Amino acid sequence: MTKFVDETTSRERRDLDFMRDLLKEKERLHDERERRQSEMVMKREKEIRDDMKQLAAIEARNCRSTPKTPGSVYVTTKFTG
């Protein structure tokens, strides 16, 4: 009887350890996924800011080089980033 109880207890401990390991791995994967998503968002935001700066520079250059005619309307956009 004692042997049976010991084996059962040992099996239950192994099962619990296995479940704990699974939960730790699940949390690790979740944290890694969140970190990657955050990095992707920051990278995309930087690309957007860079694109906006480039567009603003092109618009500024075009406004300086385009001859203004009477009655023409020029709209400039200022991007901050």
- pLDDT exceeds 70 at position 77: no
| Spatial CA neighbour of 56 closest among 26, 78, 39 | 78
Per-domain boundaries in the chain: 1-81
Mean residue pLDDT of the chain comes to 87
Q: What percent of the chain has pLDDT over 90?
A: 63
What is the token pair recorded at 76?
A: 């400039």
Confidence band, pLDDT 50/70/90 cuts, at residue 17: very high
Cα angle value 29/36/42 (rounded, 5°): 155
Q: Is the pLDDT of residue 35 over 90?
A: yes
Q: What is the pLDDT of residue 80?
A: 65
pLDDT digits (tens, 9 = 90+) for 39-76: 999 999 999 999 999 999 999 988 887 666 655 555 55
The whole-angstrom separation of Cα 81 and Cα 54 is 12
